[in-house]
Amino acid sequence: MNANMEQSIWYKRWQAMVAELDDMEASYQGSSSNPLPRQETLLSLVNNLRSFGTALFELYWWQLNRPANEKPIPYLAPLPDFPEAYIYNMFLDRVGQDIAVIQAAAAQRQEIAGVSIVERQQLLERSDRLAYKALQPALDKWCPGATALTYLGRLPRARVIPYADVALVGIPFTSRGVKQDYLATAHEVGHYIYWNAQFKKGEHPYLLTQEFPKWCADWREEIFADMYGAWVAGAPAALMLQEILLDDRPADFFKNSGQHPVPYIRPYIYTKLLHEKGVAEDLVWLTYLRNRWQQKRQALITDVPEFVWDDLRISYTEVINTSDGITQDSMMTQGLGATPVDKLMGIIAKLFRDDGIAPTSWAVSNQGDEVPAVINDEAIWKKFDLKHDSFTSVAITEANAVVPNYDQFDEHPLIIKLIERANGKNNEKERWEELVYPFAWVSRGPQEQPNPPKP
């Protein structure tokens, strides 16, 4: 251990984090006669965070303090955009956020003397199974060995982490009373897949920067997550998305957040995808969902034909074709005549099909799937309730809690990969970005926060 590093205030702060992780490990190991639910996965998160965090902290230390020729990794000269305090604060902040999420997931499952938490434990068991069910279509093809863990929070939220094969998904506190409130789970799992999938037959959508206008490129992750949610959950997820958007103020329907597609057009992503996937149980609801969105929207707002991006006015007809289906042209990277969103959707849908991601639906009740006499919200929720109850038999694979020891920070597999990626960048600024924002860590958190640059 470097003596100077041990005297650093940043090292002392990191060691305080390590002490917290040590306490969490001891607490979660508990008694073998009364193990903590999801014990192995919780321990895997703690152990992998400590291992990766230690290696990453040491990488930062060596990068900021060593002579240029001391280690066989890229030496980066200090840049004004990345001062030492910023680098360490970003690191400690993301570790702290992960600790808070892991602690919430564990505490919500732990027994409390004299207090019955059976109802909450049952809710988290159901939401774990739902998240794992959302992950299942991608397990064999894209995310082998992955699992899912949920926790109760303020909003539906995916926590993207690079160091463990775990989709960490927040579900709203309100799900305790309203089942459909955790229907956004499939979309949130889509964020995990976006950053962790090993695609077989196509480029990652993140790499398609040259083919789309900036406003559309900024929406890639959210469109992927929307499409994955619709691909696995179907009509119930499409209805839930409409409900989430209808909570917004009327003025927000035409705002471009820079991350999410403009609310005005977003439900069409779901209905077009339902048409494209062709699952009969979802097609039943297609016309109803399209008409519902138009009627609900028009009852709240006066339609505007365009949105504003970077002082440009962009017509919705230039964004997406709101009719059902994804055109054959948009199935090709160079789709002729396709709008940018249709084209992006076509590329992603082709990725789903070419890699063999089977479409499923949470509108299939398994108890007779005759078309309801009345097509309405209640009928969709009823189908989901029945399907949701059938997930109690889903067996969840736990993450591996055993983590190898690494004598040197540059022996850690993720650090090796990070250094390779930094070496592949074109200039010092891009290399620093790769190191400071590794693997899209902190792209989303338990609270709202802006996305940092991503690899």
Do 151 and 124 form a contact (C-beta atoms < 8 A)? yes
Instruction: Tell me how far apart the alpha carbons of residues 68 and 169 are, in angstroms, rounded to a whole number.
Output: 41
Give the least confident one: 165-179, 272-286, 368-382: 368-382
**CB neighbours (10 Å) of residue 332?**
14
Could you tell me which of 429, 327, 453, 345 has the C-alpha nearest to residue 80? 429
Query: Nearest-CA neighbor of 166 among 1, 52, 263?
Result: 52
**pLDDT tens readout for residues 220-268:** 999 999 999 999 999 999 999 999 999 888 878 888 888 899 898 899 9
Q: How many CB atoms lie within 10 A of CB 390?
A: 15
Q: Which pair of structure tokens corresponds to residue 152?
A: 């109760």
Given a cut of 50, is residue 335 above it in pLDDT?
no
Is residue 338's pLDDT more than 70?
yes
- How far is it, in rounded angstroms, from Cα 180 to Cα 357? 24
Residue 452 pLDDT > 80, yes or no?
Answer: no
Region 430-442: mean pLDDT is 85
With residue 341 as reference, give the H or E element that holds it.
helix 340-354
Residue 115 DSSP label: B
**Model confidence over 366-404: pLDDT tens digits?**
445 566 777 889 988 888 887 877 787 789 999 998 888
> Would you state the pLDDT for residue 153?
92
Any idea where the domains of the chain sit in the sequence?
Answer: 3-115+404-440, 201-354
* Structure confidence at residue 365 (pLDDT): 53
Is the pTM value of this prediction over 0.75? yes
Which of 182, 172, 264, 236 minimizes the C-alpha distance to 377? 236
CB atoms within 10 A of CB 247: 7
